[in-house]
Amino acid sequence: MDAGGFNWSLIVIIGPLLMVLVFAWAVMKNRKSSRREIERTEQATRDLYREEDKAHRNDDTLGT
């Protein structure tokens, strides 16, 4: 068997197939956000905004 033919099939057929499988796995893994995780993220964002707003207001009162 010619080694060049094997290398060609490895690069042209198996490589892209492996890339598609890895991409599909990554998409499926990242798609599973539960309702609780989404709510937790939203609450953390609200808390962060609230803390930043409070810090900004404290900075304004110190400067006057």
Q: Could you tell me if 43 and 58 lie in one domain?
A: yes
Range of the domain at 49: 33-64
User: How many domains is the chain built from?
Assistant: 2
Residue 64 CB coordination number (10 Å): 4
11 and 28 share one domain? yes
Judged against a pLDDT cut of 70, whether residue 11 lies above it is answered with: yes
pLDDT band at 1 (very low <50, low <70, confident <90, very high): low
Residues 59 and 41 in one domain: yes
Return the pLDDT at 54.
92
Query: Do residues 26 and 37 both lie within one domain?
Result: no
Please name the residue that has the structure tokens 């304004």. Answer: 60
Q: Are both 62 and 38 inside the same structural domain?
A: yes
Pair (19, 1) in one structural domain? yes
Residue 53: per-residue pLDDT: 92
The pLDDT assigned to 63 comes to: 61
Are residues 38 and 21 both part of a single domain? Answer: no
Task: Report pLDDT digits (tens) over 27-63.
Answer: 888 877 788 988 999 999 999 999 999 998 888 776 6
